[in-house]
Structure 1
Amino acid sequence: MPPATAAATVRTVLGDVRPEDLGVCDAHDHLFFASPRLPGQELNDASAARAELAAFRDRGGAAVVQWTPYGLGRRAADLPLLARDTGVHVVAATGLHQAVHYGPELLAELRGGLAEVFVAELTSGIGTSGVRAGLIKVAGGFHALDAHARWTMSAAAEAHHATGAPIAVHLELGTGALDVLDLLCGALGVPPDRVVLGHLNRSPDFVVQREAAESGAFLAFDGPSRTHHATDWRMPDALRALADAGFGHRLLLGGDTTTAAARSVDGGPGMPYLLRRVRPRLELAVGKDLVARILTENPARAFATAW
């Protein structure tokens, strides 16, 4: 791992930036994403991605962390131009999603060398793009961790110990947070403040959220505007409860746009919704100062690493 005395930076697709320069951050979203589980809804249009980033910037956004991992159409080579054109910092991911998102042939190819793939993409670059990833994204299952999840999380932990990179975790329908922490932070020795738990808003269990916050991990409330997840109307209460308990510094917000129909340029809420609707609603619940910190200081700490 890099020496503790090294200055922490956030690794973006245009190079490392100081955490204090990250600005207002969408801590979990997707500019490009393609999965066989979402046929016909691929995010694969660079012009639409540019328009979405520009719309987010026009609402005051300054940074987007793309959680699209290995093999799901992240189009790393396109990200620097988009970041440069729009003036928005973009952070790319390595990692691996749930097994259902991949064919068995690809998974077989990765057996025996997954951690090495993650480390290479964090330090040397993704493919031939030269773009270095700034985080590792993995995923749990519904209230459980299957063999695939344990394999990918073990590789993520190994890559973290080699690089210091943060690990972001997709929690299926917001469940399994404590199992993830037991594995990553218990058995595998990853410091809790290097773990970002995603989708906690999808399972509005205040007890689990409190326990996860007490561990020292970051809690991402992402994917708002989805009525079937009952996220928006419960999110203020969840954030207020965590803030009142002293965990406001552990909270993150993200949009998690995963389909073309969800983009604002295609008529959906998209990335701007986070700042257009979610931010003012949360400001009424917990105050403007805390929401400002959740959007700036917290992601700056969550994604900064002494590379």
Structure 2
Amino acid sequence: MTAVRTVLGDIEPAALGVCDAHDHLFLTSPAMPGPQLDDPAEATERVAGFRALGGEALAQWTPFGMGRRPAEAVAVSRATGVHVIAATGLHQAVHYDAEVLGRLRRGDGLAAFFTAELTEGMIAGDGPGGARTAARAGMIKVAGMFHGLDDHTRWVMAAAAQAHHATGAPIGVHHEMGTAAVDVLGLLHGELGVPARSVLLGHLNRFPDAGVHRELAAAGAYLAFDGPSRAHHATDAWLVDSLVALAAAGHTDQLLLGADTTSPGGGPGAGYLLRTLRPRLIHELGSAAAESVFRANPAGALAAPWPVVS
């Protein structure tokens, strides 16, 4: 059936509700400087604040091996009543120990690892030998490089495409500084056969090239904008203008918004989406368009025809 796969189980897309389509409850890596997201109490408080403003769902794009903490994500969802969609997948190679990547290359391979996390349950901890939890991933997270793709990226995306073809799972993409989205879509959709509507292109606000945005939208992918962020504040001023331009070009039904919280205090968080951005979108585009961005579009982007598991 077509459903959104949350950490508490599958739900009908229409039941997803108001959604932060790209965020992180937990996120850690030795390659990331400064404080990191590793506090369950802080995550619960943050999501409860989002819930108090009318938020009903949150997609955590933290992939395997970066402190995603599936058991704690389940606890946050239960404590707040907010649906949480978790991710399998891998980020850039810099975030992983070479031994971990080597183990994922052996055995049944990376595509089988992703598929099992989507259909059987996510591995606890940040190593492939951890215990399998009951919480299943509902999407695959991959990452491009700055203005290009490297061998690690191509390996991960090839595996993600295989896992997509086995399960229908949507694929969310980190674009470094918002770049290389055309290259990524050319690989996933053009070469590997993933339907464009199953690809969620993230961080596009960080590279506010209107022509590139229109090209990606014309191909049929979902376009995910996030922030604001202390780390990427320079492009915050273009966020609403980019959304308005894409809506004017007929792509309202492909727009996604997320807070993309990556560190404590790194931005105003998921509440900003509803407290500040939603009123601005209603003013600029009307209530129906804002409803699409926060409800209908995430429901479509995160839904998949999951295989029946006996």
Q: What TM-score do the two structures reach when normalised by structure 1?
A: 0.94
Q: Which residue number corresponds to residue 38 of structure 1?
A: 32
Q: Tell me, what secondary structure is at the counterpart of 1:297? A: helix
Q: Larger deviation: 75-84 or 195-204?
A: 75-84
Greater shift, 73-82 or 151-160, is seen at 73-82
In the alignment, structure 1 residue 150 sits paired with structure 2 residue 154 = yes
Match of 1:133 in 2: 137
Where 1:196 maps in the other structure, the secondary structure is strand
1: distance between equivalents of 2:293 and 2:167? 25
Amino acid corresponding to residue 287 of structure 1 in structure 2: G
% identical equivalent positions? 59
Deviation digits for residues 193-232 of structure 1 (CA, Å, limit 9, x no counterpart): 0000000000000000000000000000012244744333
1: distance between equivalents of 2:7 and 2:301? 17
**Residues 132-191 of structure 1 deviation map (CA, whole Å, 9 limit, x = unaligned):** 000000000011001111000000000000100000000111111110111000110000
Which consecutive residues of structure 1, in runs of 5 or more, have no partner in the other structure? 1-6, 263-267
Contact between 1:239 and 1:286, CA under 8 Å: does it hold in 2?
no
Q: Which runs of 4+ in 1 moved over 4 A?
A: none
Measured after TM superposition, the shift of residue 103 of structure 1 is: 1.5
Q: What is aligned with 1:117?
A: 113
Aligned residue in 2 for 1:25? 19
What is the CA distance between 1:95 and its match in structure 2? 0.2
State the shift of 1:84 in Å: 1.1
Partner of 1:265: none
What is residue 193 of structure 2 aligned with on the other side?
Answer: 189
Secondary structure, counterpart of 2:236 in structure 1: coil
Q: 26, 42, 47: which one pairs with 1:48?
A: 42
Q: Are 2:296 and 1:292 equivalent residues in the alignment? A: no
Q: Does 1:233 align with 2:227?
A: no
Task: Note if contact 2:61-2:86 (Cα within 8 Å) is conserved in structure 1.
Answer: yes
Deviations 1:98-145 (A, max 9, x none): 011111111111114111110000000012221100000000001100
Q: Unaligned stretches of 5+ in structure 2?
A: 124-131
Range with bigger deviation, 177-186 or 76-85:
76-85
Contact 1:224 1:274 in 2 (8 A): no
Tell me, yes or no, if the aligned pair for 1:34 and 1:43 is still in contact at 8 Å.
yes
Tell me how far apart the structure 1 counterparts of residues 148 and 111 of structure 2 sit (CA, whole Å). 22
Report deviation, 1:290.
0.5
Q: What is the correspondence of 1:63-82 to structure 2 with a 5 Å cutoff?
A: 63-82=57-76
Please say if residues 237 and 285 of structure 1, whose CA atoms lie closer than 8 Å, have aligned partners that are also in contact.
no
| 2:247 is the counterpart of 1:243 | yes
Aligned match of 1:161: 165
Aligned to 2:134, the other structure's residue is in SS state coil
Give the C-alpha shift of residue 294 in structure 1.
0.4
Contact 2:200-2:224 at 8 Å conserved across structures: yes
Q: Match of 1:169, SS? A: strand
Aligned-residue RMSD, C-alpha: 1.2
1:218 aligned to 2:222?
yes
Contact 2:24 2:61 in 1 (8 A): yes
What is the aligned partner in structure 2 of residue 108 from structure 1? 102
Count how many residue pairs are aligned between Structure 1 and Structure 2. 296
Shift of 1:15: 0.4
Looking at structure 2, the residues matched to 260 and 149 of structure 1 have their Cα atoms a distance apart, in angstroms, of 28
Which secondary structure state, in structure 2, belongs to the residue aligned with residue 230 of structure 1? Answer: helix
Where 1:231 maps in the other structure, the secondary structure is helix
